[in-house]
């Protein structure tokens, strides 16, 4: 009697979530693999299975290679810069305060800084894209206005219009967007380090940089790994910023896989080709996550 | 490094003077702290100035914006906001976003709590398999499934509609929310449910009347997390909604940026940006502790 009621509850409670998830999440991922093998171009067009032809075409598509290369550069630079800045800020906020007196504490106003640093992360990436397009505006943007204000009016870069600058301008926005989140993430890690450990190091005469590199970083290694994977996924995406700020240009210098996929599907109607791209990006993502987790594996330090 | 900053630090250093002798290199850390402080202040400026700039520019006239990006508005031009709200449809986009996110968060909470409760409390066949089925959905980026998702939604007749967005947002929010709540339900004492069962309380009633209220703190964290995530969603509405009376805020604003670029109404665009930014920043300022905890909780698990 009770078992039957339990069974009904299990089925009843799970039915809606499982159906919703299967229809809108699981089935699209599975279908992507099939569509990738077709030359599908839209609703009414005939669908023909063309095997691996899409993948063959992809391997010879210079724009796709350029996009992948940009993703790979982002994959290295975005985590390195973001984690570097965030670690430094988190350490300064939590363990660098006050004069050294055998006591480790945060700087004054640490709470205020953490709140403010989080602002860019809380906003929609679309809003950030629109905002920064205006900041980078060569004529009446904030940046070139600042250059004029300090007497550097002769230097007025076209931030998003210059092939050499645009990619780095996009990277800067992604870093700006993410740092606050990782400051909070690392702060949680640093706070979990027993104070006695840091105090002992200080009493033993360890310098601030020794504490940072020899104690803090090893002890929050798990958080750094997590951050690396998250930022890696962000680097393989980067869709909104590219779509809004540069449209992949100038001359494909900011093209990324996600935006090229979107263009192929929804601008050119090449659904099969776009899905093939999705499959390749999926495999790349999976391989890189596995690689990152393996490469950064360390003995977990218990404390 | 200015002398002013030095002055600020020195009284503090003097105050702990007697304790200094215990640490051999105490004196050498003064400049390091100043550099560190300077960097902390610098990043605070970098984080806020762009946002302040958008808000200040939203009160300027177009000629003022073009003349000098660093100038302050000569008068507060509230009409920019009225224009953005009505003529540029920001009001419509705002309303759509409230409806979609309200529906999405409510449905996400209900369905993920139900699923999480079952996972946390009962054992059944296929439990493990189902668990990994949901895990898989958290691993893959959305854009990979973009093309099939578009057609699934079209074929169900949900394209270009707000209910369609609610269902898709919910589906993609389910895995994380569920795992968060499974962990939460496990921390709740099972005895209360047992006692209620003995008292003849049905399983459904136990869930809604006892377990759900007890899970409130967890539900609030998940709710905040999903509110921010769904409010900021861009890619999904961009692909699923093409009728501009159904646009959500992020999408409408990006579209406006392209249109205003040609129309030259930059003050209206900045007003739109401000309308989109300020509510979420205010909510954040009020709840920042909970929000930071909620948003990092997922990463720390």
Task: Look at residue A1 and tell me if it is in a domain.
Answer: no
Backbone angles phi, psi at A80, to 5 degrees: -60, -50
Backbone angles phi, psi at B25, to 5 degrees: -110, 30
Where do runs of H (alpha helix) occur along chain A? 2-21, 27-35, 53-59, 62-95, 110-122, 125-135, 142-149, 166-191, 195-203, 208-210, 217-219, 221-237, 239-245, 257-262, 271-295
Q: Which residues of A touch B280 (CB under 8 A)?
A: 122-124
**Residue B181 burial class via C-beta count within 10 angstroms: exposed 0-12, middle 13-18, buried 19 and up:** buried
Q: Is the pLDDT of residue B28 over 80?
A: no
Across B202-222, b (16+ Cβ under 10 Å) vs e yields ebeebbeebbbebbeebbebb
Compute the nearest-CA separation of A52 from chain B (Å). 18
Q: Is the pLDDT of residue B31 over 70?
A: no
- The pLDDT value recorded for residue A104 is 57
A175-213 pLDDT per residue, tens: 999 999 999 889 888 888 888 887 888 888 888 788 888
SS3 B175: helix
Among positive and negative, which fits the CA dihedral A196, A199, A204, A207? positive
Q: Are B287 and B225 in contact (CB under 8 A)?
A: no
Percent of chain A with pLDDT over 70: 91
Could you tell me the pLDDT band of residue A303, with boundaries at 50, 70 and 90? low
CA quadruple A63, A68, A73, A74: dihedral, nearest 10 = 110
What's the mean pLDDT when you consider all of chain B?
80
Chosen from B44, B129, B148 to mutate, greatest number of chain A CBs within 10 A = B148
Angstrom distance (rounded) from CA A120 to CA A246: 20
Q: Are A83 and A182 in contact (CB under 8 A)?
A: yes
Beta-bridge partners for A49: A38
SS3 A99: coil
Report in angstroms the alpha-carbon separations of A223 from A8, A187, A217, A220, A293: 41, 10, 9, 5, 12
CB-CB under 8 Å, A281 with B144:
yes
Average of per-residue pLDDT across A32-37: 86
Residue B234 has its nearest CB partner, among A43, A124, A135, at A124
Beta-carbon count within 10 A of A113 CB: 22
- B200: nearest CA partner in chain A: A2
**Residue A1 burial class via C-beta count within 10 angstroms: exposed 0-12, middle 13-18, buried 19 and up:** exposed
Report in angstroms the alpha-carbon separations of A268 from A214, A264, B91, B122: 53, 5, 32, 49
ipTM: 0.84
Report in angstroms the alpha-carbon separations of A129 from A18, A62, A115, A164, B27: 35, 26, 21, 19, 45
A250-277 pLDDT per residue, tens: 888 999 999 999 999 888 888 889 999 9
- The pLDDT value recorded for residue A96 is 63
- The pLDDT value recorded for residue B48 is 92
Q: Which residues of B touch A119 (CB under 8 A)?
A: 47-48, 51, 281, 284
- The pLDDT value recorded for residue B16 is 38
Q: Which residues of A touch B281 (CB under 8 A)?
A: 119, 122-123
Average of per-residue pLDDT across B64-70: 79
Angstrom distance (rounded) from CA B250 to CA A74: 24
Report in angstroms the alpha-carbon separations of B106 from A232, A290, B98, B226, B286: 31, 35, 12, 10, 21
Compute the nearest-CA separation of B184 from chain A (Å). 17
Backbone angles phi, psi at A252, to 5 degrees: 65, 15
Angstrom distance (rounded) from CA B236 to CA B100: 12
Region of A151 on the Ramachandran plot (φ > 0 left; ψ -120 to 50 alpha; else beta): left
Query: Can you give the CATH number for the domain in which A233 is found?
Result: 1.10.3720.10
Chosen from B9, B94, B108, B147 to mutate, greatest number of chain A CBs within 10 A = B147
Q: Which residues of A touch B97 (CB under 8 A)?
A: none
- The pLDDT value recorded for residue B216 is 87
Task: Look at residue A22 and tell me if it is in a domain.
Answer: no
Q: Are B215 and B185 in contact (CB under 8 A)?
A: yes
**Domains of chain B and CATH, by start:** 3-57 (no CATH), 83-300 (1.10.3720.10)
Task: Look at residue A23 and tell me if it is in a domain.
Answer: no
SS3 A153: coil
- The pLDDT value recorded for residue A43 is 60
Looking at per-residue pLDDT, the higher value among A95 and A12 belongs to A12
Looking at per-residue pLDDT, the higher value among B22 and A89 belongs to A89
- The pLDDT value recorded for residue B7 is 36
Q: Is the pLDDT of residue B218 over 80?
A: yes
- Quote the DSSP letter at residue A49: B
**Structural domain count of chain A:** 1
Report in angstroms the alpha-carbon separations of A80 from A84, A111, A196: 6, 25, 30
Residue among A68, A65, A29, A33 nearest A49 (CA):
A33
- The pLDDT value recorded for residue B262 is 62
Percent of chain A with pLDDT over 90: 29
CB-CB under 8 Å, B299 with A185:
yes
Task: Look at residue A260 and tell me if it is in a domain.
Answer: yes
A64-111 pLDDT per residue, tens: 999 999 999 999 999 999 999 999 999 888 876 544 544 556 677 788
Task: Look at residue A117 and tell me if it is in a domain.
Answer: yes
Angstrom distance (rounded) from CA B125 to CA B127: 5
Task: Look at residue A104 and tell me if it is in a domain.
Answer: yes
**Residue B73 burial class via C-beta count within 10 angstroms: exposed 0-12, middle 13-18, buried 19 and up:** middle
Chosen from A12, A14, A104 to mutate, greatest number of chain B CBs within 10 A = A14
A146-170 pLDDT per residue, tens: 888 887 877 788 888 888 889 999 9
Q: Are B85 and B147 in contact (CB under 8 A)?
A: no
- The pLDDT value recorded for residue B298 is 57
Q: Is the pLDDT of residue B196 over 70?
A: yes
Residue B296 has its nearest CB partner, among A119, A125, A184, at A184
Q: Are A273 and A297 in contact (CB under 8 A)?
A: no
Backbone angles phi, psi at A296, to 5 degrees: -100, 10
Average of per-residue pLDDT across B23-48: 72
Q: Which domain holds residue A126?
A: 59-295
Angstrom distance (rounded) from CA A251 to CA B272: 31
Could you tell me the pLDDT band of residue A44, with boundaries at 50, 70 and 90? low
- The pLDDT value recorded for residue B20 is 38
Residue A32 has its nearest CB partner, among B12, B25, B148, at B148
Could you tell me the pLDDT band of residue A114, with boundaries at 50, 70 and 90? confident
Omega before residue A250 within 30° of 0, cis: yes
B112-122 pLDDT per residue, tens: 999 999 998 88
Task: Look at residue A15 and tell me if it is in a domain.
Answer: no
Task: Look at residue A233 and tell me if it is in a domain.
Answer: yes
């Amino acid at each position: 009697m009770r078992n039957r009621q339990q069974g009904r509850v299990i089925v009843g409670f799970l039915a809606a979530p499982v159906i919703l998830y299967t229809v809108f999440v699981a089935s699209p991922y599975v279908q992507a693999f099939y569509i990738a093998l077709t030359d599908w171009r839209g609703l009414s067009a005939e669908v023909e299975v063309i095997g691996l032809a899409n993948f063959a075409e992809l391997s010879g598509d210079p724009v796709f290679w350029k996009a992948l290369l940009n993703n790979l550069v982002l994959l290295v630079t975005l985590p390195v810069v973001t984690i570097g800045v965030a670690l430094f800020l988190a350490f300064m906020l939590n363990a660098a305060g006050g004069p050294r007196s055998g006591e480790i504490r945060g700087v004054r106003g640490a709470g205020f800084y953490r709140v403010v640093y989080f602002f860019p992360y809380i906003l929609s990436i679309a809003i950030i894209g629109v905002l920064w397009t205006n900041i980078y505006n060569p004529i009446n943007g904030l940046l070139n206005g600042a250059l004029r204000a300090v007497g550097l009016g002769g230097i007025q870069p076209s931030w998003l219009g210059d092939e050499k600058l645009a990619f780095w301008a996009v990277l800067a926005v992604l870093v700006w967007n993410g740092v606050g989140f990782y400051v909070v993430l690392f702060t949680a890690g640093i706070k979990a380090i027993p104070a006695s450990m840091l105090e002992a190091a200080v009493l033993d005469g360890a310098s601030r940089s020794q504490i940072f590199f020899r104690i803090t970083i090893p002890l929050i290694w798990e958080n750094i790994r997590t951050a690396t994977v998250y930022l890696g996924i962000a680097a393989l995406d980067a869709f909104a910023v590219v779509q809004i700020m540069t449209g992949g240009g100038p001359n494909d210098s900011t093209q990324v896989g996600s935006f090229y996929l979107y263009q192929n599907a929804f601008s050119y109607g090449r659904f099969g080709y776009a899905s093939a791209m999705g499959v390749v990006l999926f495999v790349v993502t999976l391989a890189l996550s596995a690689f990152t987790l393996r490469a950064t594996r360390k003995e977990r330090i218990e404390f | 490094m200015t002398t002013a900053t030095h002055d600020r630090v020195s009284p503090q250093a003097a105050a702990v003077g007697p304790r200094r002798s215990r640490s051999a290199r105490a004196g050498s850390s003064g400049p390091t702290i100043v550099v560190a402080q300077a960097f902390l202040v610098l990043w605070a400026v970098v984080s806020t100035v762009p946002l302040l700039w958008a808000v200040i520019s939203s009160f300027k006239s177009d000629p003022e914006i073009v003349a000098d990006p660093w100038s302050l508005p000569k008068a507060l031009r509230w009409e920019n906001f009225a224009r953005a709200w009505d003529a540029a449809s920001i009001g419509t986009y705002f309303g759509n976003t409230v409806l979609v996110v309200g529906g999405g968060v409510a449905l996400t909470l209900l369905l993920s709590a139900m699923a999480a409760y079952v996972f946390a409390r009962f054992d059944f066949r296929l439990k493990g398999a189902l668990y990994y089925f949901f895990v898989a959905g958290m691993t893959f980026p959305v854009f990979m499934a973009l093309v099939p998702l578009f057609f699934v939604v079209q074929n169900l007749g949900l394209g270009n509609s707000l209910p369609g967005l609610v269902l898709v947002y919910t589906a993609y929010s389910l895995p994380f929310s569920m795992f968060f709540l499974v962990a939460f339900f496990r921390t709740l004492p099972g005895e209360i449910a047992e006692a209620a069962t003995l008292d003849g309380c049905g399983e459904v009633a136990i869930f809604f009347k006892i377990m759900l209220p007890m899970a409130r703190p967890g539900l609030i964290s998940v709710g905040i997390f999903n509110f921010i995530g769904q409010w900021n969603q861009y890619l999904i509405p961009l692909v699923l909604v093409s009728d501009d009376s159904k646009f959500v805020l992020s999408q409408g604003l990006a579209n406006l940026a392209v249109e205003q670029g040609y129309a030259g109404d930059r003050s209206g665009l900045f007003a739109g940006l401000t309308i989109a930014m300020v509510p979420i920043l205010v909510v954040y300022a009020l709840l920042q502790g909970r929000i930071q905890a909620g948003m990092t909780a997922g990463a720390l698990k």
